[in-house]
Chains A and B, each alone.
Chain A
Amino acid sequence: MIFAMSTGSESINMFDAITGHSEKAHAILFSARLPRVLLAALVGMALATSGGAFQALLRNPLADPFILGVSGGAALGSVLAVGFRLHFIWISLLAFVGATIAMLCIFWIAKGRGRFRSTELLLTGVIFNAFCFALILFINAMVTMEEAYQILFLLIGNLEETGLGMVGIVAFFVLTGFTILTLLARRMNLLLLSDNEAKSLGINIDKLRIIVFCSASLMVGAAVAASGLIGFVGLFIPHIVRLIFGADHRILIPASGLLGAAFLILADTGARTVLMNTQYATQLPVGVITALIGAPLFMILLKRRNIM
């Protein structure tokens, strides 16, 4: 973490920055680097934990935090904010509102069929997502080039433009969700059995699903609001943890959270530094890095071991 904070397009000396010897270093550390690294950690934690939770909830190893439509709602919210040329604070705010509305809609539709089951949930989520992205493309077609570029940036996922206030709000949702899911971890193991088995082992499976769904969705909502759609973290981090430690959620959930946080800090450090000394002299969106590392890694895992 310290390494991540001291590296960037402008490298700073930690000691100078903390003690205030160098005013510039101090400013960079506290107003840019610290919030960014903290946010990377929180978003990484949110995505990896909720990814693991959704994989259990849907009994599907290919589930990721964005599969259930919550991300579509959040993305739509932030794109609307861009489309209406609102202040950039609104981007996050509307994203979170979008995520919450999406969550309630999906919940309501899936629940409409009586029981809250994996297949209903998966179908509803996937269709809801497709609908949101159709709307996003619709908006995209109506905005200026520059705004369209901003939308692209949102959809790839990046960790720029952060203040400590934002970090605080995200931290609240992510840490709450993380705590709830960690506490539910033992019972989440039973989500992987059939509904009948879980019930006959004394679990109120409908209630458990609802709590897991809501906690994970709020984490995703906060993460997407803060940083757009950063892909792959939520898909492959839980699988890596599973390969190392097994399927028990008591380890899977907390370990995914920590590994996700660490991974995204590193990926973001990479995003900030890879192109800094080249002719482009720019920062990459972190979503590019996670996808570039995550997709091949995931394919190697799939090939090497049958995780399905």
Chain B
Amino acid sequence: MNKILEIKQLSFSYGKSIVIDDISFDIRDASIVGILGPNGAGKSTLINLLSGTNAPDAGSILIDGDDLKSIPYRTLAKRVAVVPQMSSSPFAFTSLEIVLMGRTPYISPYGFESKDDIDIAIDAMKKTDCYEFASRNIDELSGGERQRVLLARALAQNPRILMLDEPTTFLDIKHISALKNTLLKLNHDGGLTIICALHDLNIASSICDHIILLKDGSIEAAGTPDEVISRPIIERVFDTSVHIEKDPTTGQPYFLI
């Protein structure tokens, strides 16, 4: 299997506090990888490093064999798209304007969006079920609606790798289920590699091929959901007692507090 990302001895600190501590792992092309761990484990920081928005203090990240450091922002934005946890702006853009920003790396620096760009943006909005808010201001949307707009913006970038930072935080169960289906479909039909920071073990176990369990900036466990979501590992990492069952129909592990 092809590796789309190779992470070698990556470290990052904010001032003196080390947040990512010498971690290495590979991500297979067209896989869905969950980054899990308690609050403050370093999930968001790792997403920032992998997406190139923060530079590591040490170590390297290779995308398709190219060193991330040497890829210009514009080129990188065609390969990697990020759905941030939050997005706010002091002046309101409409949802469609926000999604069209996803076309930035494809539009010449001084140019305007073409008809194609607009079609791609609208298509992305339909895929994430937010086209109905196209002309509404982003600051008038609920957290979950806004998240779908941000996912559409990421899809408009037409990336090879999609990274999401706790995308289920603001979603109700209907939209969590819709998001899971959208991600599975993008992965299955488009071969999109998906890296998703999550704190919900059940969601992770139902969509991920591979799980990386972080604690205090180090990898505590990595592997398939079956391997990682076991009672001793989870209790150690999350520091609380849990109860784990197997879903009788799918065989996926799920847990109860």
Chain A residues at the B interface, C-beta cutoff of 8 Å: 55, 59-61, 183, 186-187, 189-190, 192-197, 199-204, 242, 246-248, 250, 307-308
A113 to chain B, nearest CB (A): 12
Q: Is the CB of B104 within 8 A of A201?
A: yes
Q: Is the CB of A60 within 8 A of B90?
A: yes
Q: Is B133 an interface position by the 8 A CB rule?
A: no
B82: chain A residues within 8 A (beta carbon): 196-197, 200
Chain B residues at the A interface, C-beta cutoff of 8 Å: 48, 51-54, 73-78, 80-82, 84, 87-94, 97, 101-102, 104-105, 107, 109-112, 153, 157
Lowest 5 CB-CB distances: which A-B pairs, in order? A202-B77, A202-B105, A247-B91, A202-B74, A200-B82
Which of A55, A60, A199: most chain B Cβ within 10 A? A199
Q: Is the CB of A204 within 8 A of B93?
A: no
A60: chain B residues within 8 A (beta carbon): 90
A183: chain B residues within 8 A (beta carbon): 110
Q: Is the CB of B90 within 8 A of A196?
A: no
Q: Is the CB of B89 within 8 A of A204?
A: no
A248: chain B residues within 8 A (beta carbon): 93, 97
A242: chain B residues within 8 A (beta carbon): 91
With A192-B91, A193-B87, A247-B91 in contact, is A201–B109 under 8 Å at CB?
no
Residue of B84, B91, B104 touching A196 (CB-CB under 8 A): B84
| Interface majority SS (helix, strand, loop, mixed), chain B | loop
* Complex Cα gap A51–B95 (Å): 25
B220 to chain A, nearest CB (A): 26
Which of A61, A200, A202: most chain B Cβ within 10 A? A200
* Complex Cα gap A92–B81 (Å): 49
Q: Is the CB of A61 within 8 A of B90?
A: yes
* Complex Cα gap A247–B48 (Å): 28
B195 to chain A, nearest CB (A): 13
Q: Is the CB of B105 within 8 A of A199?
A: no
Q: Is the CB of A203 within 8 A of B73?
A: yes
Q: Is the CB of B101 within 8 A of A194?
A: no
* Complex Cα gap A183–B108 (Å): 11
Q: Is the CB of A190 within 8 A of B90?
A: no
Q: Is the CB of A190 within 8 A of B91?
A: no
Would you mind naming 11 contact pairs between A and B with Cβ atoms under 8 Å apart? Answer: A186-B109, A186-B110, A190-B101, A196-B84, A200-B52, A200-B76, A201-B102, A201-B153, A202-B76, A248-B93, A248-B97
Q: Is the CB of B52 within 8 A of A199?
A: yes
With A61-B90, A187-B109 in contact, is A197–B104 under 8 Å at CB?
no
Q: Is the CB of B101 within 8 A of A201?
A: yes
